[in-house]
Amino acid sequence: MRPREFNHDDVLRIAFDQFWRKGVRGTSLSDIARDAGVQRGSLYNAFGSKEALFLQAYERYAGDYLVALQKALGAGSLRKRLTAFFDLTITNFRSGSPPRGCPTTRGLMELGAAEGEGLDEEARQAFANLVSRITALVRDTLSAGAARGEFSGNSAAAALHIVTVTRGLAVLERAFGDEPQLRKIAAHTIDLVLDKKDR
């Protein structure tokens, strides 16, 4: 066998970076190939299609992201955990390599991918999967908080609410790019869920 002349993971990282910055439909395999110093055909040979390449890059990202969220949700009072959760979520919207005005939010990249006819059912499912897993993390955190008397209410409903807000924040970030306001909304959400009186 002839060995690969490029590193599989390197390409995934480079590809994700491009997808993130320019959107899935906005980046061509030629772009990625150029950046990675690889021939375009090699990418097709190794990954099959742009869609498949995106899916692999996305899975990689989702895994890292979930680990980070788990860590954020794992220490301190319930309020601190939720605050850390929102912080990480909002930071993640823009964190990464490119400092330039990058138009695509990480948290919504999947939507750019899932625009085609229905071929990208897998992308939709991968995204749904990540949302489900995040929701489960938040739900467990709320349940644990409830057991310690820091929360009274429906953990499942509240978790879904919180995750919905984070997705909404991603959309607003995309539209306004106003991070301070996002943090206000996040704080307000925490207050609502934790039943703070002076809201």
Partner DNA sequence: GGAATATTTGACACGGTGTCAAAAACATGT
Partner DNA sequence: ACATGTTTTTGACACCGTGTCAAATATTCC
**Residue 66 near residue 138, CB atoms below 8 Å:** no
Which of the residues 19 through 58 are near a copy of itself (CB under 8 A)? 22-26
Instruction: Give whichever of 45 and 129 is closer to a copy of itself, judged by the CB atom.
Output: 129
Among 60, 133, 161, 183, binds a copy of itself (CB under 8 A): 161
5 binds, among DNA, a copy of itself, none (CB under 5 to 8 A by kind): DNA
Query: Over 131-158, what HEC string results?
Result: HHHHHHHHHHHHHHHHHCCCCCCCHHHH
DSSP-derived secondary structure letter, 118 = S
Nearest alpha carbon to residue 4 among 53, 29, 37, 26: 37
Among 15, 29, 134, 138, binds DNA (CB under 7 A): 29
CB of 51 to DNA, least distance (A): 6
Tokens representing 55 are: 């899916």
Smallest separation, CB 14 to a copy of itself (Å): 18
Between 27 and 141, CB nearer to DNA: 27
196 binds, among DNA, a copy of itself, none (CB under 5 to 8 A by kind): none
Helices 78-94 and 121-147: crossing angle in degrees, nearest 10, is 160
Q: Count the Cβ atoms, other than its own, within 10 Å of residue 38.
A: 20
Please give the structure tokens belonging to residue 43: 């990418």
Does residue number 7 form part of the binding site for DNA (CB under 7 A)? no
Rounded to whole angstroms, how far apart are CA atoms 194 and 89?
Answer: 19
How many residues can be counted in the chain?
199
- Binding footprint of DNA on the chain (CB under 7 A): 1-6, 27-31, 38-42, 44-46, 48-51
- Binding footprint of a copy of itself on the chain (CB under 8 A): 22-26, 101, 103-104, 108, 110-112, 114-118, 120, 124, 127-128, 131, 153-154, 157-158, 160-161, 163-172, 174-176, 181, 184-185, 188-189, 192-193, 199
